[in-house]
Amino acid sequence: TVSIPNAYDDPRFDPSVDEGTGFHHKTILCMPIKNSSGQIIGVIQLVNKFDDLIFTKNDENFVEAFAIFCGMGIHNTH
C-alpha cells in the first residue's frame, strides 16, 4: 500500500504527470490487487479525496477489502 498525503511533497511523485492536463494530484492511495496465490495482478489507485482530506487508515481498510473482491473477480473471469 502506498498512501501519499501530499503528492508534490513526495519524491516518488513525478509532477510532470499533471503538466498539460489541468489536473492537480494532491492525495494518492494505491493498493495492489492480488490473485489467490498472492501474486499482484493489478493496482487500485485513488486520487484526491473529497474536501482536500487525506486518506485514512479506514480508507485503506475499505480499499483493501475492495481489492480482495477485485482479485477474486479477475480470477473468476479466466
Q: CA 8, CA 14: separation in Å to the nearest integer?
A: 8
DSSP structure string for 3-17: EES-GGG-TT--GGG
Q: Find the domain containing 40 and state its range.
A: 2-76
User: How many independent structural domains does the chain possess?
Assistant: 1
- Report pTM: 0.89
Residue 52 belongs to a domain with what CATH number?
Answer: 3.30.450.40
Would you give per-residue pLDDT tens digits along the chain (78 residues)? 999 999 999 999 999 999 989 999 999 999 999 999 999 999 999 999 999 999 999 999 999 999 999 999 998 887
